[in-house]
């Protein structure tokens, strides 16, 4: 009965959203990376951690650069393991403690260069991360790409999906086809009753709020992470011969409903 109730609630919300019509958006903020340097009032460098996604992060200057109107995040073979023992080094940026994004729509135009073991990602975490310890405040993965795939993953995580068996009810992840060699636009809309994922303006999945406690913590201010990681349990081993590898970010845009 619980499963039926959840599915019924999700269906009602989907119908309500359809009847309300498409949301009209206004551009609230953007970064086109047209300066010759990173705007450090907005972006900081991701720091080294122990998780799969950040255990090769480095503050080397050549891993996060602005070039020809694009932000470049790189993954390389470590040229000197006597200084840093990690075999690979990667660059990433985030707006943690600098800029928050109110619930709305975020789009990022990026090109992903493939390599075995490459794991570029664009994602959101709660801006008030001390209050919303993971996964209680949720995580929204706008884009994750493995190796040199023709598709990307788009996913939400929460206490409900991680710890309470709710990863399939409703489904919390999807894939979207991309132009593997060109630029693509990755997007997410955060509504009070649903999350909508997009690739190149086309909807790939809607994740509805069902009313179950802890299932939809996402309608809060977020910070944005953009990183190029190498290796890990999910993506697998790295082929050093494929490196260096880059993610080129053309622009980031944040919209609010009109």
Residues 6+ apart with CB under 8 A from 236: 116, 117, 146, 147
What pLDDT digit, counting tens, does each position of 68-126 carry? 999 999 999 999 999 999 999 999 999 999 999 999 999 999 999 999 999 999 999 99
Say what the pTM is.
Answer: 0.92
Where residue 61 sits, what CATH number does that domain have? 2.60.120.200
The tally of domains found in the chain comes to 1
Asked whether residue 16 carries a pLDDT value surpassing 70, the answer given is no
Phi-psi region at 47: left, alpha or beta (left = phi > 0; alpha = psi -120 to 50): beta
Q: What is the pLDDT of residue 21?
A: 72
pLDDT of residue 36: 86
Closest CA to 15 of 151, 193, 172: 193
Minimum mean pLDDT among 13-17, 48-52, 87-91: which range? 13-17
Q: How far is Cα 195 from Cα 160, in angstroms, rounded to an integer?
A: 15
Strands 25-31 and 245-257: antiparallel
Segment 22-47 mean pLDDT: 96
Q: Is the pLDDT of residue 2 over 60?
A: no
Cis bond leading into 170, ω under 30°? yes
92 in Cβ contact with 120 (< 8 Å): no
Instruction: Output the pLDDT for position 200.
Output: 98
Q: Over the chain, what is the mean pLDDT?
A: 93
Structure tokens at 187: 């997007």
Residue for token digits 């992060």?
57
What are the residue ranges of helices labelled H in the chain?
Answer: 2-20, 159-163
| pLDDT tens-digit map of 161-210 | 999 999 999 999 999 999 999 999 999 999 999 999 999 999 999 999 99
Helix/strand/coil percent split, the chain, to 5: 10, 45, 45
How deeply is 250 buried, as exposed, middle or buried, from its count of CB atoms within 10 A (0-12, 13-18, 19+)?
middle
Look up residue 99 and give its DSSP letter: -
* Span 136-150, average pLDDT: 98
Residues in the chain: 258
Q: What's the domain range around 110?
A: 2-257
Residue 161 burial (C-beta neighbours within 10 Å; 0-12, 13-18, 19+): buried
The pLDDT value recorded for residue 19 is: 47
Give the span between the Cα atoms of 71 and 248, in whole angstroms. Answer: 6
- Is the distance from CB of 64 to CB of 91 less than 8 angstroms? yes
**Tokens representing residue 93 in the block:** 């940026």
Task: Give me the pLDDT at residue 163, please.
Answer: 94
């Amino acid at each position: 009965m619980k499963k039926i109730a959840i599915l019924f609630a999700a269906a009602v919300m989907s119908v309500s959203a359809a009847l309300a019509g498409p949301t009209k958006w206004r551009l609230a903020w953007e970064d086109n990376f047209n300066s010759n340097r990173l705007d450090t009032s907005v972006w900081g460098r991701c720091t080294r951690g122990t998780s799969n996604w950040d255990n090769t992060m480095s503050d080397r200057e050549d891993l996060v650069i602005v070039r020809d109107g694009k932000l470049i995040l790189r993954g390389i073979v470590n040229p000197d393991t006597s200084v840093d023992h990690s075999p690979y080094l990667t660059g990433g940026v985030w707006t943690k403690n600098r800029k928050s994004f109110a619930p709305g729509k975020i789009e990022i135009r990026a090109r992903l260069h493939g390599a075995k073991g490459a794991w570029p990602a664009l994602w959101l975490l709660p801006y008030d991360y001390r209050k919303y310890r993971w996964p209680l405040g949720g995580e929204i993965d706008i884009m994750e790409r493995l190796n040199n795939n023709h598709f990307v993953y788009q996913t939400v995580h929460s206490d409900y999906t991680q710890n309470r068996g709710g990863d399939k009810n409703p489904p919390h992840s999807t894939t979207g086809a991309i132009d593997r060699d060109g630029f693509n636009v990755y997007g997410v809309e955060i509504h009070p009753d649903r999350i909508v994922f997009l690739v190149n303006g086309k909807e790939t999945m809607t994740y509805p709020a069902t009313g179950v406690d802890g299932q939809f913590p996402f309608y809060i201010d977020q910070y944005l992470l953009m990183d190029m990681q190498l290796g890990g349990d999910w993506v697998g081993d790295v082929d050093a011969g494929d490196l260096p590898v880059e993610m080129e970010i053309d622009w980031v845009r944040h919209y609010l409903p009109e």
